[in-house]
Amino acid sequence: MISIRRFLDSRSDQVADALLRTTHLLLEGIERHAVRPDASDYDRFRKEVRLILGDLKDGTPASEILVLAGQALKALEGYNARATKQMHAQCEDLQNMVAMLTRTMAAITSGSQSSISRLQEIEATLQTASQLEDFHTAKIRMSECLDVLGKEIVRHRSESAKQVSEMHSAVQGLCSRTAHTAEELARKDPLTKLPERAGAEVALAAVVKESRPVFAAVFATDRLDLINARFGRAVGDDVLVFFCQHVAQALKEGDRLYRWTGPAILAILHRNASLPSVREDMNGLFAKRLTMNVTSENRSVLLAVPAKWMVFAAQEIRPLPRLIQSIDAFVHGEPPEAKTIGS
């Protein structure tokens, strides 16, 4: 019975090349779309995947690719376990805060309800009292009730102060974690220096509520995976940075640019214009064929940078998840209305 490794080694270079490209694309997707409950652990996981991606070079034997894929799977399993544990801990923090508030409200009402019942009994005794002894008994019971009520007030005050102190500590912890989340939203992509997708989604959620027209323009370098496979990842990174700079120079004051996913970037545009008019403006950005000089095998190559783009009227696609889904569908599937340039 032949092993998978021997089978792959016996195949042609085309099979090895296809396996290399498929593994490369899968690892890139895993690196970019992993959940991020903890920023430092997320960065460490991305570095692990990037090291593996660095070993996936042209000409790597199929058996070697299987070993690297196994390393990636082990790193992913470890990160998944740690991320799940962190998210469970965050969920438990919130549950504890809700339970604390519930206990506080129950403590405030339970003691008072007991005293109210005793006072109501005394009131009924006074209403039916017929002898002096009945009034004397009611007076004693009233004194006892007031004494108990006074002690309950002191106890409630002490317990309330303790509960407020505990809730204050819990809120401070939550605020600290919220600030950490805000810092993550403001984090920039190390390659393009643009804010990352998390920041883009928050910005979209805000602008769709505005009264002035807002547009979401998505731009993607087409066939970046082929450029990476032919010239190497470093050249592919240079192409993506060049593409981002080309788009950025056409934006106006108040527009914002984000790294969306993979080869795609997203611009949020504020324009007092119609959708066809904004699309016409963006069309001028790629009126000429986009090219750049790259160095490959010690020689300069004039490389065409094919691209595709689409503009969406952000406020006309509701709710927000549907807008995000439309953007992702364009990036990954190129719907019929997509504009493709330079191919």
Among candidates 197, 178, 174, which has minimal Cα distance to 95?
174
Are both 232 and 170 inside the same structural domain? no
Residue 299's pLDDT band, with cuts at 50, 70 and 90, is confident
Boundary of a domain, candidates 132, 162, 185: 185
State how far the Cα of 214 lies from the Cα of 254, in Å rounded to an integer.
11
CB atoms closer than 10 angstroms to residue 235? 18
Please state the rounded mean pLDDT for residues 226-230. Answer: 86
Range in 96-110, 128-142, 284-298, 309-323 with the lowest mean pLDDT: 96-110
Are both 210 and 319 inside the same structural domain? yes
Highest mean pLDDT among 26-40, 230-244, 282-296: 230-244
| The predicted structure's pLDDT at residue 266 | 94
Question: Is 146 a domain residue?
Answer: yes
Q: Which domain holds residue 246?
A: 197-341
**For residue 220, which phi and psi values (nearest 5 degrees)?**
-140, 135
The total number of structural domains that make up the chain: 2
Are both 243 and 168 inside the same structural domain? no
Question: Is 192 a domain residue?
Answer: no
Please state the rounded mean pLDDT for residues 6-32. Answer: 68
SS3 sequence, 274-300? CHHHHHHHHHHHCCCCCEEEEEECCEE
State how far the Cα of 120 lies from the Cα of 46, in Å rounded to an integer.
68
Among candidates 230, 197, 215, 223, which has minimal Cα distance to 340?
223
What lies within 8 Å, CB to CB, of 266 at 6+ separation is: 197, 200, 216, 217, 218, 219, 257, 258, 260, 327
| Res. 174: pLDDT tops 80 | no
Q: Do 232 and 295 form a contact (C-beta atoms < 8 A)?
A: no
